[in-house]
């Protein structure tokens, strides 16, 4: 059977976090009564005219600069014509021949393999409304609250060769958008969406194969699954001597498969033409340069700084800086207790586990960075042991509180008093004569058992290092 190589290009839609819509002053607020955030412009009433939202242009420009695009100081809005009930104007306002930005790049890293993915273009466009299908009423409803919300579409070159590369690229874009604070990046709510174009070709062949466009993936994991499934589906087709059809396919997350939705339309099907209601978008050169100068530190730069400044391994730096809020939390903690590697270890294990249990955002952690720093310090200083420390973190995670006061209050302070520990050890030895005999006869694995017994006697508060020493001494 032939060996194939996958070719993947992504089209990413990011909803821009503006207060009002792209061409009218309606609110973009999510979750309002259907059709309450609407006006003549975003419902396509005859005679209404679009007025461009400056903030949306600013956000699109920031993203363009952040991924090294050339910003076109003159770009054109075009009408993309198609009929759909949730598109009252009968066309989407987008950009076609002259988008706001082109020729960017994103550096990705998959298990240490670094690669640059080209970004073809970024264009601005407005979102459509939503069709709501009700089985109970045997009817479909249209909610236009989302109609007219600003989006940028970021189109990649077909540079990715595996589902892992595609997800790495997507994660990079996601974290940059969040660093810039211009998109909520919530895939489940649909304000960060991705279509994946997937084809395969025999290894060594230059020419691309026919692609399928995959839609309906609402998590990073599903993007990965959908692409992986699609690659193997296409491989099976070619192996059977059949052809891949150019089409749009929907991912079914329950079954883990993609299914044909419709034939793929070509650009000419949309009869694009410049929107006569909108003048060309002209950006002031100095304004663009001001935005460039004002860009925040981005994930790649921050990762490099974490390695340099805190002496962290690349994988830790990557983990911490992928999420801006998490990186902020780390830095504030280290400000209060200057032990970067130790703080990082606590975050990458315990904090992240709890964060994931509470919805995935560090915002769910009520323990202030300064309080967390105190916890890491008192474990370090041996005031409490590691295990008690983990429990205290669990108790204080949601609501916060001073760990020092908490452990005093609850009497959790570690027992490092040698005589108290000796008493406990003596008792354990007296209670377990046969184990003691076995240990002395060479069954040294029983050490763990004895330590466990002493810990039980001291309610987990004994200093484990001391317990080990005393036991070793007394069991000789």
- Binding footprint of Mg ion on the chain (CB under 5 A): 11
89 touches Zn ion by CB under 5 A: no
- 50, 158, 322, 340: residue in contact with ligand ADP (rule CB under 6 A): 158
Please report how close the Cβ of residue 117 comes to ligand ADP at its closest, in angstroms. 10
SS3 letters across 5-62: EEEEEEEEEEECCCCECCCCCCECCCCCCCCCCCCCCCCCCCCCCCCCCHHHHHHHHH
Residues 254-293: x/- map of binding to ligand ADP (CB under 6 A)? -------------x--------------------------
Please report how close the Cβ of residue 123 comes to ligand ADP at its closest, in angstroms. 11
Q: Which stretch binds ligand ADP (CB under 6 A): 205-213, 305-313, 323-331, 433-441?
A: 205-213
163 touches ligand ADP by CB under 6 A: no
**Please, which residue, 84 or 208, has the CB nearer to ligand ADP?**
208
155 binds, among Mg ion, Zn ion, ligand ADP, none (CB under 5 to 8 A by kind): ligand ADP
88 binds, among ligand ADP, Mg ion, Zn ion, none (CB under 5 to 8 A by kind): none
Q: Which of 69, 66, 54 lies closest to 100 in space, CA to CA?
A: 69
Please report how close the Cβ of residue 448 comes to Mg ion at its closest, in angstroms. 59
Q: How far apart are CA 130 and CA 35, in angstroms?
A: 10
156 binds, among ligand ADP, Zn ion, Mg ion, none (CB under 5 to 8 A by kind): ligand ADP
350 touches ligand ADP by CB under 6 A: no
22 touches Zn ion by CB under 5 A: no
Q: Which stretch binds Zn ion (CB under 5 A): 35-43, 212-220, 289-297, 446-454?
A: 35-43
Q: How far apart are CA 248 and CA 385, in angstroms?
A: 57
Residue whose beta carbon is closest to Mg ion: 11
- 156, 175, 224, 258: residue in contact with ligand ADP (rule CB under 6 A): 156
Q: Which stretch binds Zn ion (CB under 5 A): 17-25, 27-35, 383-391, 428-436?
A: 17-25
Size of interface with ligand ADP, in residues (CB under 6 A) = 17
Size of interface with Zn ion, in residues (CB under 5 A) = 5
Please report how close the Cβ of residue 10 comes to ligand ADP at its closest, in angstroms. 6
24 touches Zn ion by CB under 5 A: yes
Tokens of 182: 């211009």
Which residue is associated with the tokens 């006697």? 457
**Please, which residue, 11 or 86, has the CB nearer to Mg ion?**
11
**Please, which residue, 109 or 157, has the CB nearer to ligand ADP?**
157
39 touches Zn ion by CB under 5 A: yes
Question: Which chain residues interact with Zn ion by CB under 5 A?
Answer: 24, 26, 39, 41-42
Question: Which chain residues interact with ligand ADP by CB under 6 A?
Answer: 7-11, 155-158, 197-199, 208-209, 211, 213, 267
């Amino acid at each position: 059977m032939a060996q194939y190589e996958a070719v993947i290009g992504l089209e990413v839609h990011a909803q821009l976090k503006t207060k009002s819509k792209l061409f009218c002053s309606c609110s973009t607020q999510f979750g309002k009564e259907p059709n309450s955030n609407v006006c003549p412009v975003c419902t396509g009433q005859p005679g209404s005219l679009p007025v461009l939202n400056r903030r949306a242009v600013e956000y699109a420009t920031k993203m363009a600069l952040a991924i090294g695009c050339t910003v076109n100081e003159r770009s054109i809005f075009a009408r993309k014509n198609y009929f759909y009930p949730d598109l009252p104007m009968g066309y989407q306002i987008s950009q076609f021949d002259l988008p706001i930005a082109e020729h960017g790049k994103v550096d990705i890293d998959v298990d240490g393999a670094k690669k640059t993915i080209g970004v073809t273009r970024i264009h601005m466009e407005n979102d459509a409304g939503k069709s709501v299908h009700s089985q109970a009423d045997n009817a479909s409803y249209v909610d236009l609250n989302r109609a007219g919300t600003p989006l940028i579409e970021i189109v990649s070159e077909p540079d990715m060769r595996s589902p892992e590369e595609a997800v790495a690229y997507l994660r990079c874009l996601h974290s940059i958008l969040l660093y810039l604070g211009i998109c909520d990046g919530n895939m489940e709510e649909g304000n960060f969406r991705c279509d994946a174009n997937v084809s395969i070709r025999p290894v060594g062949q230059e020419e691309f194969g026919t692609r399928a466009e995959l839609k309906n993936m609402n998590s990073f994991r599903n993007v990965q699954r959908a692409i992986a499934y699609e690659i193997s589906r296409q491989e099976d087709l070619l192996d059977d001597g059949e052809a891949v059809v150019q089409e749009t396919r929907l991912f079914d997350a329950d079954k883990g498969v993609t299914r044909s939705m419709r034939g793929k339309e070509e650009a000419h099907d949309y009869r694009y033409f410049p929107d006569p209601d909108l003048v060309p978008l002209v950006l002031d050169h100095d304004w663009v340069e001001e935005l460039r100068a004002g860009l925040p530190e981005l994930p790649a730069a921050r990762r490099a700084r974490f390695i340099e400044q805190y002496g962290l391994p690349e994988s830790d730096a990557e983990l911490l800086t992928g999420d801006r809020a998490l990186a902020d939390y780390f830095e504030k903690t280290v400000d209060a207790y200057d032990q970067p590697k130790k703080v990082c270890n606590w975050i990458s294990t315990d904090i992240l586990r709890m964060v994931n249990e509470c919805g995935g955002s560090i915002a769910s952690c009520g323990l202030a960075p300064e309080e967390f720093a105190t916890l890491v310090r008192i474990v370090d200083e041996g005031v409490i042991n590691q295990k008690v420390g983990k429990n205290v973190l669990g108790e204080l995670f949601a609501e916060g509180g001073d760990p020092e006061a908490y452990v005093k209050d609850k009497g959790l302070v570690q027992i490092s008093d040698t005589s108290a520990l000796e008493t406990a050890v003596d008792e354990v030895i007296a209670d377990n004569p046969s184990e003691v005999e076995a240990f002395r006869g060479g069954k040294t694995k029983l050490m763990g058992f004895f330590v466990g017994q002493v810990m039980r006697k001291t309610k987990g508060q004994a200093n484990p290092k001391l317990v080990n020493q005393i036991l070793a001494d007394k069991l000789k």
